[in-house]
Structure 1
Amino acid sequence: MITITRFLARQLRTVFLRALRLSSRDAGPNLFLTAGPGGLRVQAQNTFAAVEHHMQGEFSAEQIGLPFASLADCAGTKAEPVTLEQESSTKIIVQWTDRKIPQLVKYDVTSGDIPDFPAVPAMMAENDGSLWQALAAAMETTDTTPIRLATDCVQLRGNGGKIIATDSRQLLVQAGFSFPWEDDLLVPRTGLFASRDLPADGPLHIGRSEGWLTLQTGPWTVHLAIDKERRFPTTESHIQSAETALTHLQLAQADAEFLADALQRLPRDEDDLHHTVTVDLNGQVIVRAQGHDSKVPTELVLSRSSASGENLRFTTNRNYLARAAKLGFRELHVYGTEHPVQAQGPNRVYVWAPLGEHGVIRPSRKAVRIDSADGPPHAGKDAEVTPPSRRTTTMAKSTRPQPQAVGDEAGTSNGNGNGNGSHNGAANGNSQPDAAGSTDLIEQAEALRSTLRTATTQVGDLIAALKQQKKATRSVQTALATLRQLEKVAL
């Protein structure tokens, strides 16, 4: 018999879901628990990743296979015991207590050989917690639906210890890490590094084997599959020297926090897919936005920040500007209204494409001005009070499981270098909130995207069919007209 806790079951489920790229509705692979004098190891793996949790301690020698679904049944927020017992070669009994009510579930398991688990590489390099944060930021920069190149992957360069990520609209380069290899490798997008159930502030060891990138932090060992087949975009040409910029923006710390918080509340129209704002650099630093329903623009005046060089006014996607501030960048370099904006910091560069001069909102004496040093907004001279733009959002609910989603790129480089449960007592005892709630939200968003794509395809097919029908109708009309003429000739 092996004993774990309901809290550990919740942690295991959350981390396994993220690392193995599973939705909360997926059956998932079987778990294998191995106990002995060296501790208790819980392993799960598929083609995307292999994950192990190692609990130190003295345990009786035993090995149990368990369906992945069992974790959802017994997961909880407290360190209450969960016992796992092998009843027969095909039956596992899991018992725990839910609010003082005993729970017992029997699971069917399939007998067979345990798959080989990846070995930890002989060479592992130690980094501090900043590597975990850098990998999380890089994964957020990747594309969810790549078209041609591997923009859904993060590139790790052994030479220089760089982490590079792009979705063809933004580029994030982070350097200064220690990697025990010389070539470049690609690791597909994963939500693992956003998990709060992993120790992200302690030392992180990293290494690679033939087909896996290996990471070790605390009791966790994670092997992520390396993509050896696809190519990564060339990114070097998009990094420019700060000295050649036309305008330089120094963003004060307090203004950066103010900007990141206020940008998403500026007016925006529903049909503005680019989340457009105007950045005005004329000695002052002003961010301006206006909706169709607003008579006057709203301005964020970053009074503690400064701009030097040429006066420039351009539009950009507010999400990229906010992200630069949230990532901690305080220097922004602008090379022109039609050239990429480059945020720079120690060992880091963040680049994104602005929207140019089209749609620029010009200054207005009637603008609602919000000074970062003052806080609450106040109307400028002669300002008219106008209601804010209203947004209406309709989200379709997913009624069935959806698969998880696995640009204009300039140039390329080679970046390769089920259990059935029979219950006795109260159902499944899972009275706790779903630990993968964020995964469900992502699934709903992707379900909506899939629905919209299907609708677009169906509309295209319908238009094509209508055109074909129209063409056929014209042909029939032409034939009838010819017959009428022939009848006249015969008469």
Structure 2
Amino acid sequence: MIARTPAGVSAVVVITRDLARRFRAVAATCAAGRRRGPAPPVVARASGDTVTLTARFDGVTLGVTTPAPPGPAGVLVAPMAVLEAVEGAGAGPVELRVSGGHSGEARWVDAGTPRSLPFEAPSPGRPDDPPPDPAEWHPVPPRLLAALHECGRTAARDPGRYALHRVQVRGGAGAVVGTDGRTALVAGGFEFPFGEDLLVPAVPAFGCRELAGTAAVHVGRAGGHLAVRAGPWTVWLPADAGGRYPDLDGVVPRAGAGAVAGLDAADAAAVLAALPGLPGADGEGRPVTLDLDGGVAVRARGPDGVAELRLSRSPAAGPPARVAVDRAALRRALRLGCHTVRTAGGGRPVAFEGAGLTLVTVALDPDAAVAPDPAARVTHTDPAAHGPVHPRPERRTTMPPPDTTGVPGPGRADPPPAEAPDPLAEAEALRAALAEAAARAGRLVAALKHRRREQKALTQAWSSLRALNLTPDRP
């Protein structure tokens, strides 16, 4: 039996304290840039056996729909501060009711004690209504949420002449792009139900734990918005199909045009662990050098000299290349799993490729690249493959005067013949050398195969604006 709305009460909506907490947590991440002014009001709508909460943030709309006990349909508007007051970790009910025009009240029980909170309830109206749902929802891989989040992190913080503070969703290319003018991140491999390129706000909401891990993710176009649905959550993003965005095509080094290296996972972890301790972290651009010459070395210079980390398990191919990048960009690329490095040298951008991701960053001034230094403090990521090198002690031998008689003198004898090498030891040494060569060759082949698989994504890679020497799209 469905309960009726009490007499004199215009609307009643029942939510849970946990829903209030989760909605407020996600709502705090829906503003693009710094949020100004008070939080927007929340629209609570009861319909049959579901309850929906929505709120609008400068064009971005957040909504969540959850099951609820059957009850009368109703809609009311409450300040966000009401959710803050009633939120909690439990599933205890919270009754929101409006009566007498704009008089609202929230009722709940906290630790066995009944609580109530009066509030002023604006009348529901069109400005508070969410955008319409798409006519059709299109399923996409769940990693789209991470793509929107990471590309949003890469976008510029402040608006500029070009829309670098936004994220570009490329319908035809099936990619999501973000750039701040120095670093660009491209996430590819998607199929969108539209062909145009859209500019949407960069909001952190897609990185919230409430949305992360959602198995069912869908997208759709509706009413000038790109709608993204993740489980019970929906985010409507205002979509600009005519905005100008940097053209990133052609920035990533072409296949065969430069040096390429495949970083072993253990080597990448070693670099991440070593980066905080490498010298030069306080220098301009926080430079760190990548040296690709058959292998890979990471080098940095500080007041106390040069430190070098040689990646024992990571092969490199192509012409030798030495380039300096911001260590923050290197750290981010490795944390994203982009372990294939590609550079054409000459101060051109450096690309880090991973599974469906490409991070492109500007190369620093060539003078910032650190050349090999005999006095450098060298560390290997696999010490077992490079035993400690000890200088051989200098041997001094006093040579007797030459004998001109041809007759051995007293106490002199012909030197004994050289001792023959141990065949078993020689065979063991040869087998170890061949095994190491085979392992290096295998890693190189794997890196090249990985590069071939990612070629399609690379052709869709993007660049930044001024620092990447690009021109904007033509109108």
What TM-score, normalized by structure 2, do the two folds share?
0.74
Say if 1:199 and 1:218, in contact at 8 Å, map to a contact too.
no
- In structure 2, distance between residues paired with 1:80 and 1:72: 15
The DSSP-based 3-state class of the residue aligned with 2:106 is strand
Amino acid at match of 1:124: W
Say if 1:365 and 1:381, in contact at 8 Å, map to a contact too.
no
Say if 2:184 and 2:361, in contact at 8 Å, map to a contact too.
yes
- 1:209 and 2:218 equivalent? no
The match for 2:285 is 274
- 1:49 and 2:109 equivalent? no
Which consecutive unaligned segments of at least 5 residues does structure 2 have?
A: 1-11, 392-464
Residue pairs, 1:133-144, within 5 angstroms: 133-144=146-157
- In structure 2, distance between residues paired with 1:167 and 1:305: 30
Larger Rg: 2
Change beyond 3 A, Cα 1:87–1:380: farther
Residue pairs, 1:63-212, within 5 angstroms: 63-115=75-127, 116-212=129-225
CA deviation after TM superposition for structure 1 residue 330, in Å = 2.2
- In structure 2, distance between residues paired with 1:344 and 1:22: 28
Amino acid at match of 2:41: N
Deviations 1:18-62 (A, max 9, x none): 124486884222111111314111111243211211112443123
- In structure 2, distance between residues paired with 1:306 and 1:291: 27
* Greater length-normalized contact order (CA 8 Å, ≥ 6 residues apart): 1
CA deviation after TM superposition for structure 1 residue 66, in Å = 0.7
The match for 1:436 is none
The match for 1:18 is 29
CA deviation after TM superposition for structure 1 residue 353, in Å = 1.1
The DSSP-based 3-state class of the residue aligned with 2:367 is coil
CA deviation after TM superposition for structure 1 residue 379, in Å = 10
CA deviation after TM superposition for structure 1 residue 365, in Å = 4.4
Change beyond 3 A, Cα 1:234–1:24: closer
- In structure 1, distance between residues paired with 2:93 and 2:473: 52
CA deviation after TM superposition for structure 1 residue 10, in Å = 1.4
The match for 2:43 is 32
Amino acid at match of 1:36: S
Say if 1:45 and 1:51, in contact at 8 Å, map to a contact too.
yes
CA deviation after TM superposition for structure 1 residue 243, in Å = 1.4
Match of 1:238 among 236, 248, 251: 251
- In structure 2, distance between residues paired with 1:27 and 1:146: 22
- In structure 1, distance between residues paired with 2:474 and 2:110: 53
- In structure 1, distance between residues paired with 2:33 and 2:328: 28
The match for 2:332 is 323
Amino acid at match of 1:327: L
Between stretches 305-314 and 127-136, larger displacement belongs to: 305-314
The match for 1:411 is 471
The DSSP-based 3-state class of the residue aligned with 1:290 is strand
Deviations 1:361-385 (A, max 9, x none): 333444333332359xx99989xxx
- In structure 1, distance between residues paired with 2:354 and 2:36: 41
Deviations 1:150-199 (A, max 9, x none): 11112112213122222221222222212111111111211111111114
- In structure 2, distance between residues paired with 1:381 and 1:81: 73
Amino acid at match of 1:412: P
The DSSP-based 3-state class of the residue aligned with 1:237 is coil
The DSSP-based 3-state class of the residue aligned with 2:302 is coil
Say if 1:31 and 1:66, in contact at 8 Å, map to a contact too.
yes
- In structure 2, distance between residues paired with 1:261 and 1:83: 51
The match for 1:283 is 294
The match for 2:448 is none
Amino acid at match of 1:372: T
- In structure 2, distance between residues paired with 1:283 and 1:303: 11
Match of 2:344 among 330, 335, 349: 335
Change beyond 3 A, Cα 1:368–1:70: farther
- Percent identity, aligned pairs only, is 30
CA deviation after TM superposition for structure 1 residue 82, in Å = 2.5
Say if 1:231 and 1:413, in contact at 8 Å, map to a contact too.
yes
The DSSP-based 3-state class of the residue aligned with 1:240 is coil
- In structure 2, distance between residues paired with 1:128 and 1:254: 28
The DSSP-based 3-state class of the residue aligned with 1:236 is coil
Say if 1:211 and 1:225, in contact at 8 Å, map to a contact too.
yes
Say if 2:76 and 2:121, in contact at 8 Å, map to a contact too.
no
Amino acid at match of 2:84: A
Say if 2:139 and 2:219, in contact at 8 Å, map to a contact too.
yes
- 1:351 and 2:323 equivalent? no
The DSSP-based 3-state class of the residue aligned with 2:116 is strand
Deviations 1:328-385 (A, max 9, x none): 222211101411112234544322111142133333444333332359xx99989xxx
Say if 2:322 and 2:345, in contact at 8 Å, map to a contact too.
no
- In structure 2, distance between residues paired with 1:4 and 1:14: 16
The match for 2:399 is none
CA deviation after TM superposition for structure 1 residue 412, in Å = 1.6
- In structure 2, distance between residues paired with 1:198 and 1:172: 21
- In structure 1, distance between residues paired with 2:78 and 2:33: 17
The match for 1:309 is 318
Say if 2:103 and 2:119, in contact at 8 Å, map to a contact too.
yes
The DSSP-based 3-state class of the residue aligned with 1:208 is strand
Change beyond 3 A, Cα 1:193–1:23: same
Change beyond 3 A, Cα 1:289–1:22: closer
- In structure 1, distance between residues paired with 2:388 and 2:94: 61
The match for 2:451 is none
CA deviation after TM superposition for structure 1 residue 112, in Å = 4.9
CA deviation after TM superposition for structure 1 residue 267, in Å = 2.7
The match for 1:426 is none
- In structure 2, distance between residues paired with 1:380 and 1:355: 33
- In structure 2, distance between residues paired with 1:112 and 1:313: 62
The DSSP-based 3-state class of the residue aligned with 2:325 is strand
Change beyond 3 A, Cα 1:267–1:87: farther
The DSSP-based 3-state class of the residue aligned with 1:131 is helix
Amino acid at match of 1:73: A
Q: May I ask how many residue pairs the two structures share in their alignment?
A: 385
Match of 1:248 among 260, 263, 269: 260
The two structures, once aligned, show a CA RMSD in angstroms of 2.7
Amino acid at match of 1:338: G
